[in-house]
């Protein structure tokens, strides 16, 4: 477990139940022509042979013949030149870790921040070093005071500088202190710094503001780690009013502890028995990812347990904590101000994406479940029109566009790209036109954000092993940095794919990278708990700044042209509105339909094909002849007729106003929105339960066929036997009679009573407000619902995570989907 070389020709090793001396014979040095093994001689331990010796140090100067070693149990031992144990003393500590020997002193590093000092010649106790900071300290607000009952980090390494009489101590929380021990009775601190003690997962650079309205000084950046901390760093020499330099670190501004538990603050890898702690990497603790809001006021962080936290950076307070996911959060992303909305997307290993509205106190807007595996990255794009792009371990990239609905925003999938390799990370350039994706095959693939088509593909690593784990574009969009699983970092020209630099240094994989806004540095973090700051060459920095100047010049020219068009179009619009009002006042006898503009059809799935444009009349002229031709249009081709020569049923059999998302007066002014199958099935279920109709299964076949505007399918025998009865038939006839009285029967309306029933029942429930779930009791009062109560339950327990509630809702609707799939062959058959 440790080794130490003596000033003479031997060295000593210590470990489990052994202390061995290895002698080198100088007389045989010239006779040895090949590698030969050494034969060690064990030290005579006596009654101490059952101890684990963790460190050893050979004496210096007058004590060069002596050897000092220390055991985990807290025993300091001294061996003479004959390998005999001369003296040993009990340090009276729970655990000892390290030893350092000079000509005068012996320093023993022990548990709870204790460092004991002994005299080398006689092992007399002299004093203890001052203890470092206690675990969980607020470096920005507390002074170096001793708190009773506080827990301190263990001392795990010591090094002595005899020239300056400085002793360097490394503690188990990866903090470093340098003490001046020239006078052991009055020890002073020379320098100290605090670092992460475990995996560093992510790094974020704090945005810069011209009016100095930021919560952190310029040049600050943040890191998060498995030690349950988020740390704020700043390397600038200037000071900030709210963040003065503290006595613990010149670079560390603030530490946020996400939990009160301090056991993760100490490194778990340096334990006496590593066999029992071999799975220390599997501990689901720590902050996995974080993101700073564009205005610099909020910090969103996700931990490995699936929790989402929001911190307010002005006062460093936690304002929101949500159990968002069932597994670790892998990505967080705020939307840019250019998109026109303030959203936060949270992606997790549970394959779900939650979209939260920042302006409405992080209200849940939508949950997306397109991916079939862990989601590795999600990004917002767009200028004015917001767009979401996500990739995952299912080798898929989804492009979505946002659509505003009555109760918020809804993302609709526009493109789906399926690759043959796993996708680990992605980033969007400053122009919002391209997205770069890091792939498992060590390639960087660049896609167009608008079309979803691949633009470039080039190597992201110069090696032949490993996978690309991270990709990061610089602020100008000129270069991108990639990290590979072989622990290398590459800087590549974004447009040409040429590698301009390659770096090594981390001892573990690089888990995060960020360019600074001054284009001078690249910050990387790794699983080795280290933060590296790389200085970019002047040529790279100059190229970045020149590209930023070019982009700024193009943007100014674009803004210069905007007032011309705006000043020309706005008076035209105002003039049209004024003319419309005056014309209505002058001719009040005209029908309102002649005065009101035609309703716009809401099309959410991109451009329509030609056959759909003909159905809607967009491909023909606006005259009457064209309209008549639109109504009489029939599809052409070999698939236009069935074997029985029956005409194909299309949307022409009914009034288009009832089947398009257009505001219609006959529907009681209810706005129709695009619905998915789960929501439609849940709506049908709510209506059936509200009406007390137990025969919803029998009518579901009719409702599904009516939704797809197909002829009524013949009922299945096994389904009808479940719910047919004379009472139900008479009730259905009565309901159909009411429908016939309320709706005017014309050739453009649905021809079957089943279609009328579905339309009435479905669209009337869209405007119904759902009741809020109340919890007036305590957790002890909550009981599992009975079988009949569970059937009627419409809400989930909000104490569960968002993902659990979403998946539970999907499972409850799974049987509706099974019935739908039962009819799917018939539906597909009639469609053909």
pLDDT at 235: 85
More confident residue, 333 or 780: 333
Query: In a 3-state reduction of DSSP, which class is residue 29?
Result: coil
Name which of 330-339, 478-487, 651-660 the model is least confident about: 651-660
Q: What is the pLDDT of residue 67?
A: 95
pTM of the complete model: 0.70
- pLDDT of 831 over the 50 cut: no
Q: Extract the tokens encoding 218.
A: 């310029």
Alpha helix (H) ranges present in 377-446? none
Residues constituting the chain: 832
Quick one: tokens of 564?
Answer: 């011309």
Q: Is 767 in a helix, a strand, or coil?
A: coil
**433 confidence band (pLDDT: 50, 70, 90):** very high
> What number is the average pLDDT over the span 83-91?
92
Segment of 191-195, 616-620, 624-628, 744-748 carrying the highest mean pLDDT: 191-195
> Would you place residue 827 in the very low, low, confident or very high pLDDT band (cuts 50, 70, 90)?
very low
pLDDT of residue 590: 53
Q: In the predicted model, is pLDDT for residue 622 greater than 60?
A: no
Answer yes or no: is pLDDT of 766 > 80: no
N-term to C-term CA, the chain: 75
Backbone angles phi, psi at 680, to 5 degrees: -65, -45
Q: Can you tell me the mean pLDDT for 304-314?
A: 92
Report the alpha-carbon angle 158-164-165, nearest 5: 50
pLDDT at 263: 82
Task: For residue 462, name the pLDDT band (cuts at 50, 70, 90).
Answer: confident
Reply yes or no on domain 2-28+36-193 having CATH 2.130.10.10.
yes
pLDDT band at residue 735, thresholds of 50, 70 and 90? very low
Least confident piece of the model among 7-16, 150-159, 257-266, 816-825: 816-825
Residue 825, pLDDT score: 52
pLDDT tens profile 565-620: 444 444 555 555 555 555 555 555 555 444 444 444 444 444 555 555 555 555 44
311-326 pLDDT, tens per residue? Answer: 999 888 999 999 999 9
Query: Where is pLDDT greater, at 602 or 539?
Result: 539
Question: In angstroms, rounded to a whole number, what is the distance separating the alpha carbons of residues 535 and 381?
Answer: 29
Scored b (16 or more CB within 10 A) or e, 773-800 reads: eeeeeeeeeeeeeeeeeeeeeeebeeee
Greater confidence (271 vs 716) lies with 271
Strand partners of residue 332: 346
Average pLDDT over residues 515-530: 94
* Contacts with 237 (C-beta within 8 Å, 6 or more apart), sequence order: none
Contact call for residues 521 and 535 (beta carbons, < 8 A): yes
Q: Could you tell me the maximum CA-CA distance found in the chain, to the nearest angstrom?
A: 124
Domain ranges of the chain: 2-28+36-193
pLDDT digits (tens, 9 = 90+) for 223-269: 999 999 999 999 887 655 566 678 889 899 999 999 877 888 888 77
pLDDT of residue 818: 58
How large a percentage of the chain has pLDDT more than 90?
A: 47
Q: Quick: pLDDT tens for 361-390.
A: 999 999 999 999 999 999 999 887 899 999
What are the distances in angstroms from CA 427 to CA 401, 520, 534, 819? 17, 20, 20, 42
pLDDT at residue 216 above 70? yes
The larger pLDDT score, comparing residue 689 to residue 451, is at: 451
Residue 382 pLDDT:
84
Cα torsion angle, 411, 414, 420, 426, sign: negative
Rounded mean pLDDT of 656-668? 40
pLDDT of residue 558: 78
User: Bigger pLDDT: 193 or 688?
Assistant: 193
Q: How many angstroms separate the CA atoms of 102 and 165, rounded?
A: 10
């Amino acid at each position: 477990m440790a080794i130490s070389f003596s000033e003479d020709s031997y060295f000593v090793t210590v470990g489990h139940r052994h202390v061995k001396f290895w002698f080198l014979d100088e007389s045989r040095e010239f006779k040895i022509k090949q590698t030969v093994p050494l034969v060690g001689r064990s030290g005579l331990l006596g009654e101490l042979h059952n101890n684990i010796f963790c460190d050893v140090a050979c004496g210096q100067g007058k004590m060069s013949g002596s050897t000092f070693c220390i055991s985990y149990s807290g025993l300091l031992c001294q061996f003479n030149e004959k390998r005999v144990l001369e003296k040993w003393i009990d340090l009276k500590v729970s655990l000892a870790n390290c030893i350092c020997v000079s000509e005068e002193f012996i320093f023993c590093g022990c548990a709870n921040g204790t460092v004991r000092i002994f005299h080398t010649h006689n092992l007399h106790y002299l004093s203890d070093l001052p203890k470092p900071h206690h675990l969980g300290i607020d470096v920005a607000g507390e002074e170096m005071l001793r708190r009773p009952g506080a827990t301190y980090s263990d001392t795990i390494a010591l090094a002595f500088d005899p020239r300056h009489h400085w002793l360097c101590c490394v503690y188990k929380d990866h903090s470093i202190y340098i003490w001046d021990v020239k006078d052991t009775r009055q020890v002073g601190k020379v320098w100290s710094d605090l670092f992460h003690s475990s995996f560093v997962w992510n790094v974020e650079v704090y945005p810069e503001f011209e009016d100095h309205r930021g919560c952190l000084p310029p040049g600050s950046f943040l890191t998060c780690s498995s030690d349950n901390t988020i740390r704020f760093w700043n390397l600038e020499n200037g000071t900030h009013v709210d963040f003065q330099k503290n006595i613990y670190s010149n670079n560390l501004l603030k530490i946020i502890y996400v939990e009160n538990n301090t056991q993760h603050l100490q490194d778990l890898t340096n334990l006496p028995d590593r066999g029992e702690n071999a799975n220390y990497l599997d501990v689901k603790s720590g902050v996995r990812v974080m993101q700073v809001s564009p205005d610099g006021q909020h910090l969103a962080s996700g931990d490995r347990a699936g929790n989402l936290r929001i911190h307010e950076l002005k006062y460093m307070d936690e304002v929101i904590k949500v159990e968002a996911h069932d597994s670790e959060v892998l990505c967080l992303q705020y939307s840019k101000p250019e998109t026109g909305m303030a959203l936060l997307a949270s992606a997790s290993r549970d394959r779900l994406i939650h979209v939260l509205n920042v302006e409405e106190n992080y209200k849940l807007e939508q949950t997306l479940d397109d991916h079939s595996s862990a989601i590795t990255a999600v990004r917002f794009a767009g200028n004015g029109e917001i767009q979401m792009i996500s990739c995952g371990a299912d080798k898929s990239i989804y492009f979505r566009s946002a659509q505003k609905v009555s109760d918020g925003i809804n993302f609709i999938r526009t493109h789906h790209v399926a690759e043959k390799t796993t996708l680990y990370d992605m980033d969007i350039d400053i122009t919002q036109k391209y997205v770069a994706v890091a792939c498992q095959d060590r390639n960087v693939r660049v896609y167009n954000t608008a079309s979803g088509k691949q633009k470039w593909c080039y190597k992201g690593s110069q090696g032949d092993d490993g996978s690309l784990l991270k990709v990061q574009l610089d602020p100008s969009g000129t270069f991108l940095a990639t990290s590979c699983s072989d622990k290398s970092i590459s800087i590549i020209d974004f447009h040409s794919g040429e590698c301009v630099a390659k770096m090594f240094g981390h001892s573990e994989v690089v888990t995060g990278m960020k360019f600074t806004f001054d284009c001078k540095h690249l910050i990387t973090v790794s699983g080795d708990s280290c933060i590296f700051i790389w200085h970019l060459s002047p040529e790279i920095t100059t190229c970045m700044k020149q590209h930023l100047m070019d982009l700024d010049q193009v943007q100014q020219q674009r803004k210069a042209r905007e007032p011309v068009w705006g000043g020309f179009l706005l008076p035209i619009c105002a003039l049209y509105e004024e003319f419309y009002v005056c014309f209505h006042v002058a001719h009040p006898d005209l029908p309102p339909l002649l005065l009101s503009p035609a309703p716009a059809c809401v099309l959410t799935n991109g451009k329509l094909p030609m056959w759909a444009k003909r159905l809607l009349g967009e491909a023909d002229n606006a005259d009457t002849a064209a309209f008549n031709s639109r109504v009489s249009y029939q599809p052409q081709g070999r698939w236009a007729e069935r074997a029985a020569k029956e005409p194909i049923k299309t949307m022409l059999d009914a009034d288009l106003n009832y089947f398009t998302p257009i505001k219609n007066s006959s529907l009681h002014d209810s706005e129709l929105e695009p619905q998915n199958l789960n929501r439609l099935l849940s709506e049908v279920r709510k209506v059936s339960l509200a009406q007390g109709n137990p025969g919803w299964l029998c009518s579901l076949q009719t409702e599904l066929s009516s939704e797809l505007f197909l002829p009524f399918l013949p009922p299945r025998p096994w389904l009808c036997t479940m719910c047919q009865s004379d009472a139900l038939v008479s009730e259905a006839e009565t309901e159909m009679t009411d429908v016939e009285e309320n709706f005017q029967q014309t050739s453009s309306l649905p021809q079957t009573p089943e279609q009328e029933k579905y339309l009435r029942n479905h669209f009337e429930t869209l405007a119904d407000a759902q009741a809020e779930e109340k919890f007036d009791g305590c957790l002890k009062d909550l009981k599992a619902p009975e079988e009949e109560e569970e059937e009627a339950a419409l809400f989930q327990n909000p104490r569960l995570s968002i993902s659990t509630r979403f998946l539970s809702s999907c499972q409850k609707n799974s049987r509706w989907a099974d019935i739908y799939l039962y009819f799917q062959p018939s539906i597909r058959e009639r469609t053909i």
